[in-house]
C-alpha cells in the first residue's frame, strides 16, 4: 500500500513530464505539479475546478531552498521555518523569480512550506524542484486524508496517486503572512496559534472569517455534500430531533463527554476526546456521514484553543452559505 522507491521515481517522472501527482503530506493529500511548469500548474486549477486567482502552496524539500524560491526572507520567517519545518506551517513571502504567476494567482507573494511526511519528502528530493499542491479535492469540498479519498474524488483526472497512509494531522497547514511588519495568521491549521506565539513572543491576531480573502476562508469551503448545521452543544439533540421531524436524514456529531442516550439521528459520530485525534478524524467522518446518505449534519464547534481553533474554523466554513444555482 505505502509508496515504494519505484513509486517515488515514477511520481517524480510524472512531475517532470508535466503531469499531476497526488501526494500524501502530514496535513491532507495534495494535488501536485511542477511549480515551474505553468501548463501543469494550470491543470491543477482545471482538475479541482478552482478559480485561477486562488493561489497555491509551493512545497519544498528543505528549508535551505527558501532563498531560491522567495525574495527577501525576513528574520521572522527564518525563525519560524527553523522551528516548525518540516511541518504544517505555510509562510507567505515575496515571490521569487522561479515561481510563475500561475502558482500565485497573479500575486507578488508566494506561500511555501516543507511538509513533514516521508513520502512527500522523498518525492521532493527525487524531483529536486518545488511542487505546487493544493488539497487533492474538488474546489470547496472536504479535503482527502487517505489515498482512497483521492481516488474516489479525482479518479483518472490525476496521473498518479502516491499512497502514504492516513494523514497524521488531518487539517491543513497554518498560513502565516510574514510579508508585513508583524506576522499574521491567514488560516489556522496544524501549528497552533499558541505554539507560534511562544516562538514569536507576542500575541497573534486570528482573522474573523469575513475579513479574509484567501479561498480557504470563503463561505462554504471544506464542505461535505450534506448541509452542516452548527448549534451550541446543549442544543445538539433537540436540533437533530427537529431536523429529523422535518424529514431529513440526520448525521449527528456528538462531543466526547455527551451521554449515551438514544439519539434521533440516522448516523452518529462521537468525536474523540483528544484534539489531535479529532483533527485527524474530522474530514474522514464528514465523508462518512455523506456516504451514509445524511443530508444534514448537526454539530457544535470545540473550544477555539490549540487545534480546536482550526477544527472550529473548518466546521464554520463547512456550514457557510452554499453557492446557489
| Closest approach of ligand AMP to the CB of residue 265, in Å | 30
Beta strand segments in 75-208, E: 89-95, 109-113, 131-132, 160-161, 174-177, 184-187
| Closest approach of ligand AMP to the CB of residue 255, in Å | 26
Is the distance from CB of 31 to CB of 143 less than 8 angstroms?
Answer: no
Taking CB under 6 A as the rule, does residue 200 contact ligand AMP? no
Cell of 91: 509562510
Taking CB under 6 A as the rule, does residue 176 contact ligand AMP? no
Stretch that binds ligand AMP, among 163-171, 212-220, 280-288, 313-321 (CB under 6 A): 212-220
106 exposure class (CB count in 10 Å sphere: 0-12, 13-18, 19+): exposed
Taking CB under 6 A as the rule, does residue 26 contact ligand AMP? no
Count interface residues toward ligand AMP (CB under 6 A).
19
Residue whose entry in the numeric block shows the C-alpha cell 469575513? 210
Taking CB under 6 A as the rule, does residue 110 contact ligand AMP? yes
Residue 154 binds which entry of Mg ion, ligand AMP, none, with Cβ cut-offs from 5 to 8 Å by kind?
none
Check residue 199 and report its DSSP letter: H
Stretch that binds Mg ion, among 9-17, 97-105, 131-139, 252-260 (CB under 5 A): 131-139
Taking CB under 6 A as the rule, does residue 144 contact ligand AMP? no
Helix (H, G, I), strand (E, B) or coil at 218: coil
Contacts of 41 (CB under 8 A, 6+ apart): 33, 34, 35, 56, 100, 102, 103, 132
Q: Would you tell me which residues interact with ligand AMP (CB under 6 A)?
A: 54-57, 92, 104, 107, 109-111, 134-135, 172, 175, 186-187, 214-216
Amino acid at each position: 500500500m505505502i509508496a515504494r522507491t519505484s513509486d517515488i521515481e515514477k511520481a517524480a517522472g510524472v512531475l517532470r513530464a508535466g503531469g499531476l501527482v497526488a501526494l500524501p503530506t502530514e496535513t491532507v493529500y495534495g494535488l501536485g505539479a511542477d511549480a515551474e511548469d505553468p501548463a501543469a500548474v494550470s491543470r491543477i486549477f482545471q482538475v479541482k475546478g478552482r478559480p485561477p486567482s486562488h493561489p497555491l502552496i509551493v512545497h519544498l524539500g528543505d528549508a535551505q531552498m527558501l532563498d531560491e524560491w522567495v525574495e527577501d526572507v525576513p528574520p521572522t520567517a527564518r525563525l519560524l521555518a527553523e522551528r516548525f519545518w518540516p511541518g504544517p506551517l505555510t509562510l507567505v513571502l515575496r515571490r521569487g523569480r522561479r515561481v510563475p504567476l500561475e502558482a500565485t494567482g497573479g500575486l507578488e507573494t508566494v506561500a511555501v512550506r516543507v511538509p513533514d511526511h516521508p513520502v512527500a519528502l522523498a518525492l521532493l528530493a527525487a524531483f529536486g524542484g518545488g511542487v505546487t499542491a493544493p488539497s487533492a479535492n474538488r474546489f470547496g469540498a472536504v479535503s482527502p486524508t487517505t489515498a482512497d479519498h483521492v481516488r474516489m474524488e479525482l479518479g483518472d483526472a490525476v496521473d498518479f496517486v502516491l499512497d502514504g497512509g492516513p494523514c497524521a494531522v488531518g487539517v491543513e497547514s497554518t498560513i502565516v503572512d510574514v510579508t508585513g511588519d508583524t506576522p499574521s495568521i491567514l488560516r489556522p491549521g496544524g501549528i497552533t496559534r499558541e505554539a507560534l506565539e511562544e516562538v514569536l513572543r507576542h500575541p497573534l491576531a486570528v482573522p474573523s472569517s469575513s475579513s479574509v480573502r484567501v479561498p480557504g476562508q470563503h463561505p462554504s469551503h471544506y464542505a461535505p455534500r450534506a448541509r452542516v448545521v452548527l448549534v451550541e452543544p446543549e442544543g445538539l439533540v433537540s436540533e437533530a430531533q427537529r431536523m429529523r421531524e422535518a424529514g431529513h436524514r440526520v448525521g449527528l456529531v456528538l462531543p466526547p463527554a455527551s451521554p449515551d442516550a438514544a439519539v434521533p439521528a440516522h448516523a452518529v459520530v462521537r468525536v474523540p476526546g483528544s484534539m489531535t485525534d479529532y483533527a485527524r478524524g474530522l474530514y474522514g467522518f464528514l465523508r462518512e456521514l455523506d456516504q451514509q446518505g445524511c443530508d444534514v449534519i448537526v454539530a457544535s464547534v470545540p473550544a477555539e484553543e490549540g487545534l480546536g481553533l482550526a477544527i472550529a474554523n473548518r466546521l464554520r466554513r463547512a456550514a457557510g452559505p452554499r453557492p446557489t444555482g
